[in-house]
Amino acid sequence: MISSAGVGSGLDVQSIVSQLMKIEQQPLNQLKTTASSLQTKLSAYGTVKSGLSGLQDAATKLLDTTIWKSKTFLSSNTAAVTGSASAGALATSFGLKVNDLAQVQSTRSVGIATGSQIGSSGRLDIQLGQWSGTSFAAGTGSAVSVNVAATDTLADIATKINSGNAGVTAVVVKSGSNDQLLLRGNTTGAASGFQVRSFDGGGTEITDGTTGVGKLAYAYSVSNSAFFGMTQTQAAQDANVEIDGITVTSATNTVANAVPGITLNLLAKTTTAATITVGDDTAAIKSRVEAFQTAFNKLANTMTDLTKYDTASKKAGALQGDATAVGLQNVLRNMLGATGPSGTSFNRLSDIGLEMQRDGTLSINNTKLDAALKNLPDLNTFFTASTGSSATDGMARRINSFIQQANGVDGNVSGRSKALQASITRNSKDQDALNQRLAQRQAAMYAQYNALDKKMGSLSSMSSFVSQQIAQWNK
């Protein structure tokens, strides 16, 4: 092809072909404009689908049965007691006095020069159980034996105890120039106390509490009417509380189901009763109602923007006049304006404080909503009732079902999106075919006008030759 002025006659072949091709390309430009419009509509339906999904999510959260059963737990003395209430708890209020906290048993040995050896071999038998005064009742588990060498320090003995899984934890504390062995039970409760018996290398029990490993015993000598070996610094005990005067004990400071469905976390003793109040979690439900309103308004505003004609800018929304979009918008508005399920004291959304505005959005009347939250059974039914009919189901269930269908594989939104995508695909194929024809047409034009240029060049040369011959003849 020639892309410059003609080589024969000076004919501007490129300019001529370029101008003619602009006319030939008009159908292609129309296809591109149509493709752009289709793509804009497809993108708009993507936005609609996203907005519908957001509203469906908000409706689904209102259908969550646990939120309608959830309870709040309030303590008038959070420094002494906190807690929680399960869905099965009844709304109630009671006084709670903490007389004792559950605690572990702990003991300490006498001071032994830091780093010094125990001096004689022996054995310590650690048994979990319960002390009642000076009497010890062994628990169900067997005693754990810890063998002690004469050369062991308190640190060595502590390591052996901790490795034995005896139900106690040992630690050595340095005080001045001496070390002391501390033993502490691993679990709270009166039944989690412990006794430590000591034996010499021959297996004879040491009961004087001052010889070798006898210093690390903790037991009671009936003959001496005294405890020997280590000194108890804290007794194992159960938590003791009074619930409106009724005494309740617990092996831990977590008291569960003393009042059905309520868990109490004990933190400190009290001199006066704290007030515990359990109620319906209306704040959580109100939050979900507000989220439903927000999601609907977001979708409503999106639909309005996409389907309106702006007289000021003289621009139409991407889906202005689109029957599917307009129909979807009308169905949603009608659905929210319809009556709710029967059998409740609420007839319409406006009765619970969700009021439809002239622009198609919902506003919240907090006075009405707060009043509705005082009647949770009816409010629950209004949103979640399942009757098997979209006309009588609860409002949240209706919205959820409608959007599930609209956004589903065979739904209106999905169907419209598929149709638009199919149109875009066809348009793309039409553009490809037209581009191929235009390329062929352009090549033909270049061939035609290049031939013309060459022909005109030949004629021009012949004209010059004739002119020269005539000039010669005239001479």
Residue 390's pLDDT is: 76
> CA-CA distances (angstroms) from residue 246 to 81, 97, 241, 276?
17, 10, 8, 15
Closest by Cα among 330, 334, 331, 347 to 394: 347
Task: Compute how many other C-beta atoms are within 10 angstroms of the C-beta atom of residue 162.
Answer: 14
> 129: domain range?
106-234
Same domain, 15 and 158: no
Structural tokens at position 351: 């009765």
Contact, 9 vs 460, CB < 8 A?
yes
Query: Could you tell me if 293 and 423 lie in one domain?
Result: yes
Which residue from 297, 311, 321, 328 is spatially nearest to 41, judged by alpha carbons? 321
Residue 142 is part of a domain; what is its CATH number? 2.60.40
Q: Is there a single domain that holds both residue 319 and residue 217?
A: no
Residue 190 and residue 249 in one domain:
no
User: 280 near 376, Cβ under 8 Å?
Assistant: yes
pLDDT of residue 471: 67
Q: Give the count of beta carbons closer than 10 Å to the beta carbon of residue 65.
A: 10
- What is the DSSP track for 309-364? EETTTTEE-TTTT-HHHHHHHHHHHHHHHS---SSSS--SGGGGTEEE-TTS-EEE
Name the token pair of 150: 């004469």
**Same domain, residue pair 198 and 247:** no
My answer on whether 184 and 218 are in the same domain is yes
125 and 251: one domain? no
The per-residue pLDDT for 309 is 83
The count of C-alpha atoms lying within 13 angstroms of the C-alpha of 78, restricted to the half-sphere facing its C-beta, is 3
Beta strand pairing call for 231-234 and 81-85: unpaired
Predicted pLDDT of residue 466: 55
Same domain, 83 and 41: no
**C-beta of residue 11 within 8 angstroms of C-beta of residue 452:** yes
**Burial grade of 111 (CB within 10 A; 0-12, 13-18, 19 or more):** middle
- Boundary residue ending a domain (220, 251, 280): 280
What per-residue confidence (pLDDT) applies to 460?
A: 57
Domain co-membership, 117 together with 96? no
3-class DSSP assignment, residue 391: coil
Q: Count other C-beta atoms under 10 Å from residue 466's C-beta.
A: 10
Which residues on neighbouring strands pair with residue 195, listed in sequence order?
127
Q: Is 268 exposed, middle or buried (0-12, 13-18, 19+ CB in 10 A)?
A: exposed
Query: Which helix (DSSP H) or strand (DSSP E) does residue 217 occupy?
Result: none
> Of 430, 100, 120, whose CA–CA distance to 238 is shortest?
100
Q: Is 97 within 8 Å of 244 (Cβ atoms)?
A: no
Shared-domain flag, residues 405 and 295: yes
pLDDT on residue 465: 56
Please check whether residues 272 and 342 belong to one and the same domain. no
Which residues on adjacent β-strands are paired with residue 144?
Answer: 126
Select from 168, 202, 234 the last residue of a domain.
234
The b/e string for 273-311 (b: 16+ C-beta within 10 A; e otherwise) is bbebebbbbbeebbebbebbbebbbbbbebbeebbeeee
Which CATH number do you get for residue 423?
Answer: 1.20.1330
For the chain, 475 residues long, give each residue's pLDDT as a single digit of tens: 444 444 556 678 788 878 887 888 888 788 788 877 778 888 888 888 899 999 999 999 999 999 999 999 999 999 999 999 998 899 999 999 999 999 999 999 999 999 999 999 999 999 999 999 999 999 999 999 999 999 999 999 999 999 999 999 999 999 999 999 999 999 999 999 999 999 999 999 999 888 889 999 999 999 889 999 999 999 999 999 999 999 999 999 999 999 999 999 999 999 999 999 999 999 999 999 999 999 999 999 999 988 888 888 888 888 888 888 888 888 898 888 889 898 899 999 999 999 999 999 999 999 999 999 999 999 999 999 988 887 889 999 999 998 988 887 667 787 888 888 888 888 888 888 888 888 888 888 888 888 887 777 676 555 565 566 666 676 6
CA–CA separation, 323 vs 329, rounded Å?
Answer: 10
- Is 207 in the same domain as 62? no
* End residue of a domain, out of 234, 268, 289: 234
User: In the chain, how many domains are there?
Assistant: 3
The separation between CA 111 and the C-alpha centre of its own chain, rounded to angstroms, equals 54
- DSSP secondary-structure letter at 237? B
